[in-house]
Amino acid sequence: MKTLLSILLLLSGTCAIAQDAPYKVVFDLTSKDPATHQAVVRQAKSILDMRPDAQLEVAIYSEAIPFVCKEKSTLKPELEALLKTGRISFKVCGETMKRKQVKPSDLIDGVSVVPDAIYEIISRQKEGWGYIKVAQ
């Protein structure tokens, strides 16, 4: 009985520690699919609503560039509202922008450009951030 009680106390302490850890997640977005774009917005809103301590970043590259372009995004108002929280950032790969001939002025205000989105993801992971590949 003492052993079982000890195990339960140990496990409950582990769960408490995990819940106290900072909530930092980087999302990896490469899809041009609007349903996938909606999924990342939905997930981000949900996390920000449930976790006031959450810090989120969306790394955007490859075919996902329209997600954050002023004239092409189907979710511009939602992205602007998320950016206003100050708890999420959208970072676009500069190399992808060159390849796709997208200028920084084409992006929704508040979206940042990083030299390499994959390196951005790796850097966040080294800092202890969680990783989610956004897919439908």
For residue 5, is it within any domain? no
Helix, strand, coil % over all residues of the chain, rounded to 5: 55, 20, 25
Please determine, for residue 81, whether its predicted confidence score (pLDDT) is greater than 80: yes
Predicted pLDDT of residue 135 = 85
Predicted pLDDT of residue 33 = 96
- Convert the pLDDT of each residue in 11-56 to its tens digit: 555 444 456 778 999 999 999 999 999 999 999 999 999 999 999 9
Predicted pLDDT of residue 9 = 44
User: CA 29 → CA 14, 90, 91, 121, distances in Å?
Assistant: 32, 10, 10, 11
Query: How much is the mean pLDDT over the chain?
Result: 89
Please determine, for residue 131, whether its predicted confidence score (pLDDT) is greater than 50: yes
CATH number at residue 44: 3.40.1260.10
User: CA 55 → CA 23, 25, 79, 90, 125, distances in Å?
Assistant: 6, 7, 15, 12, 13
Domain that holds residue 63: 22-133
For residue 62, is it within any domain? yes
Average pLDDT over residues 109-115: 98
Q: What angle do CA 20, 36, 30 make, to 5 degrees?
A: 90
The more confidently predicted of residues 9 and 97 is 97
Q: By the 8 A CB rule, do 115 and 12 touch?
A: no
User: What's the structural domain count of the chain?
Assistant: 1
Which tokens sit at 42? 């939905």
